[in-house]
Amino acid sequence: MPIVLTTFIAMSALAQTQYINLTGKVVDKESKSLRGVSVVVKGTSIGTQTDINGKFLLKVPSTAKYLIFSFLGMKSQEIAISGRRNLDVVLDDNLSNLADVVVVGYGKQKAVTVTGAISSVSGAELIKSPVANISNMLVGRVSGLSALQSGGEPGQDASGLHIRGVGTLNGSSPLIVIDGIQQPTENSLTVFNAMDPNEVQNITVLKDASATAVYGIRGANGVIIVTTKRGASGKLKVGFSANYGKIQAVSLLKTASSYEYGVLRNGAIQNLEATGDVSQHQYLFSPDQLWKFQNNRDYTPAEVEAMAQLTPAQKTQLNSSPALYYTSHDLFKEQFGGVGAQEQYNVNISGGNERIKYYTSVGYFSQGGIMNTVKYFNSNTGSTYKRYNLRSNFDINVVKNLDISIGIAAQSGIGNSVGSGNPGDLTARYKNLSEAIIEGNPFTGPGIYMVIWLTTF
């Protein structure tokens, strides 16, 4: 009932929302109409774009207060509606954006001269997301980039990336280029996701044919270009970053309680017996057993009262003691309801002069799993992942018109995830765990209980 009531209230509130029509025109400072300007109600996803004449028509909630106007190369503006039904807006040039440099295939261009579909994300933006790998950091930051995360185990939780759908000639993964070096197709995403985001200067995503043409058939699924940080002339700079967090499952499968299980099994057996098949009759739960499940007791009050060897105090204690056998376990929560720790540390130095510039970064990342009961003879058999990163970039001006750049990178990922003989194969491990929980029953608990009654005669 509470869920139905909540849904009804939400629908009623939605039905009472009133809308108004807003019109207007957007021009530049020379009064030229701007086509394709984004017009969005602040704080919502309600929006539209201006037509060829710079005009727009937008239906907005009567409670809306501001519209946000944005256009490439122009400064975004936030305009108050203030009861008006028509808005005329003038956008100013954003000269700083026009001077931005974008990394493209085998070179760089000013943003204003780029004609291909290209998006860029800075390293500073990436590290705002405290997740394990770069593919998950890109989610929601690049238009046209879709990601699918098929697992959550430490070291195995990277997302598969697709740029504007899936191509047909080069698999489904985009080409990864790190500091101008194309990564092998078979492990490009593995190398990409094992990078420390603290060592990334920026990431550029090339999305259409005009932007990826220089890479030929290898760029059929789009290209992700990673540029790492490099040194600059000046005094020695030392940087340090650290973060610590906890990992926990947001949602776990909810299974039936022991009482619900017993009632449903009895119903199934009784339906079977109605057809004349009584072969499962011995598996029916008695009313006393159902009572024990429902009340979390191993004995009914009548059974306790019949135990003549017990004192009145012992009977009272037994009547109030929780069940050991007729209990109810939420096995998914007991197995996957743990809390894992996540740590990340990075130390980097940079500097140089007119002849030599340097940048060195050392990183460490650790992630624990969320599984409980993973001790086996005091050994932790749960999933863990540790990653070590080292990167050193040197730029040397040997003589006039001769520069040498040297890049050294090392990655080491150590995981403990046990599948069917293959550390990266999770199918058997979690499939068997899930099957055991679902096919079992909620009153079968892990471990063995031994109860010893001490009675004084």
Q: How confident is the model at residue 320, as a pLDDT?
A: 92
Three-state SS for 187? helix
Residue 330 counted as domain residue: no
Q: How confident is the model at residue 228, as a pLDDT?
A: 92
| Distances from the Cα of 233 to the Cα of 74, 217, 382, 457, angstroms | 33, 39, 47, 91
One domain, residues 66 and 147: no
Which of residues 94, 119, 141 is at a domain's end? Answer: 94
Domain that holds residue 215: 97-239
Q: How confident is the model at residue 441, as a pLDDT?
A: 86
Segment holding 390, helix H or strand E:
strand 384-399
One domain, residues 69 and 132: no
Q: Which residues contact 280 (CB under 8 A, 6 or more apart)?
A: 269, 272, 273
Residue 446 counted as domain residue: no
- Per the CB < 8 A criterion, the answer to whether 156 and 424 are in contact is yes
- Per the CB < 8 A criterion, the answer to whether 194 and 387 are in contact is yes
One domain, residues 101 and 173: yes
- 0.85 surpassed by pTM: no
One domain, residues 105 and 230: yes
Which of residues 209, 239, 269 is at a domain's end? Answer: 239
Q: Give the C-alpha separation, 353 to 231, whole Å.
A: 9
Residue 21 counted as domain residue: yes
Which of residues 70, 94, 118 is at a domain's end? Answer: 94
Q: Which residues contact 360 (CB under 8 A, 6 or more apart)?
A: 348, 349, 350, 390, 391, 392, 393
One domain, residues 20 and 66: yes
Residue of 162, 117, 154, 115 lying closest to 138 (CA atoms) = 162
How many other C-beta atoms can be found within 10 angstroms of the C-beta atom of residue 53? 12
Which residues of the chain carry a pLDDT beneath 70? 1-17, 95-116, 166-171, 373-381, 414-429, 445-457
Q: Give the C-alpha separation, 217 to 225, whole Å.
A: 16
Burial class (CB in 10 A: 0-12, 13-18, 19+), 96: exposed
Q: Which residue has the tokens 């019949």?
A: 306
Q: Which residues contact 19 (CB under 8 A, 6 or more apart)?
A: 59, 60, 61, 62
Total number of domains constituting the chain: 2
One domain, residues 204 and 167: yes
Residue of 334, 364, 297 lying closest to 440 (CA atoms) = 334
Residue 79 counted as domain residue: yes
Return the beta strands (E) in 35-97 as ranges.
38-41, 47-49, 55-61, 66-70, 77-80, 86-91
Q: Give the C-alpha separation, 179 to 229, whole Å.
A: 10
- Per the CB < 8 A criterion, the answer to whether 348 and 198 are in contact is yes
Q: How confident is the model at residue 420, as a pLDDT?
A: 41
* Pairing assessment for the beta strands 19-28 and 356-368 based on DSSP bridges: unpaired
Q: How confident is the model at residue 212, as a pLDDT?
A: 80
65: CATH: 2.60.40.1120
151: CATH: 2.170.130.10
One domain, residues 31 and 64: yes
Give 28's strand partners: 91
Three-state SS for 237? strand
- Per the CB < 8 A criterion, the answer to whether 33 and 39 are in contact is no
CA distance between the termini of the chain: 54
Strand order in the sheet with 86-91: 55-61, 19-28, 86-91
One domain, residues 119 and 82: no
One domain, residues 110 and 225: yes
Q: Which residue has the tokens 């809308």?
A: 19
**Token pair belonging to 75:** 């400064």
- Per the CB < 8 A criterion, the answer to whether 374 and 402 are in contact is no
Residue 163 counted as domain residue: yes
One domain, residues 40 and 114: no
Q: What is the DSSP string of 142-182?
A: STTEEEEE---STTS-PEEEEESS--SSS-SSPEEEETTEE
Residue of 202, 208, 36 lying closest to 117 (CA atoms) = 208
One domain, residues 19 and 128: no
Q: Give the C-alpha separation, 359 to 340, whole Å.
A: 33
One domain, residues 235 and 103: yes
| Half-sphere exposure for 197 (CA within 13 Å, toward CB) | 24
